[in-house]
Structure 1
Amino acid sequence: MNQEITLAATLPSTPRGARAARALVVAQLAEQKVPFEDAAQVVAELAANAVTHGRVRGRDFRLVLRLTPGSTLRIEVSDTRREFGPLPACGLPDAEAESGRGLALVSALAVRWGTDHGPVPLKTVWAEIDVASPISPDRGFHDPVDQYSVKHGT
C-alpha cells in the first residue's frame, strides 16, 4: 500500500444507491489488493443510514474513501438532512428490535468514527479503519452481541 487511494462518488439516495456505494468500495479496494471486508460493511451501514434517515427528496448522498500510505482508511458518507442533529449512542436495541444495530457494528469495526456538520445542510458520518490491523481479539474488541447476551442472561 504505497499509494494513496481516493474515491469520491455522488449516488442517489435510494437502496440501489446504497448498494452501489458498497460495490464501488469493494471494487476499488480489491483492485488495489487492500482488505475490504470491514470497509464494505461500514459503507453498507453508513450508506443505508444516509438513504433511510438522511434522505431528502431530489438530493443525493456522497461517498468519499481515502486510504493513506499509513494504512488508515477513512470512509465518509454525507447527506443533506442535517436537522436530525447528533447521532444516537451506538448501544444495542432490545433483542426483539428489527433494526438499530448498525452504528454498534460501525463502532466495532472502526478505530474511530463520528460526525461533522457543514456547510449547511451537509451532515457527514465518517469512520476510520486500520486496514493493516484487522479486528481481532488481541485489539480488545468484544462482540456487542456477546455483551448483550451476558448482560441480560440469555
Structure 2
Amino acid sequence: MFDEIYKCPLGSLNPETCRCTSCQFERQLTASRAALDRAEQANFARGSSISSFGGRYEMDKPKESMKDKVARQRRERIEQSDKDWNKIQNQKSLPNYLTGNPPPPQTEPTYPIYKNTRVSPDERVRNLLQSNNQDIMILSVSETFAYRVTA
C-alpha cells in the first residue's frame, strides 16, 4: 500500500495502523490513486477512444521557444505603444503640462472670490463710536506696549 519512500514522521513502525494525520493522509492518497487507476483501466478495457491519462498530474501544453516568446512580447509592446500613441493623437488638445507650453495668462483668478461678510464685535463698537463722532484707537496688548514706547 505505501511507497518505500514514505516513513511516519512520529517514528511508528507500521504506518498503516498509525493514527497520526500524516499517515492517515498518505493512506487516503494511496487509496485515491488506486481507485483512479482502476477506473482508468475499466474505461480503456471497454475500448474507449479517450487517450491515456498519463499526463494527469502535469499539464501537457506546448512549450514556446525563447525566440518565439521574445518576438511575441515585442509585437505586443509595439501594438500597445501604437494604441497609446493613437489615443494621444486623437485628443483635441493636450494639456500644457504635457506639451511644455506655459499656461495662458489669466487676469482673473480661477478660484471663487469670497468677500468677508463676518462682523466682529469690535466692528460694532467702532461703528457706534464713529456715529457719536468719537475717535478711538483699539489696540492689542502687544500694540499697546509698542505705542507706549514710541509715545
TM-score, length-scaled by structure 2: 0.22
Which has the larger helix fraction?
A: 2
Structure of larger gyration radius: 2
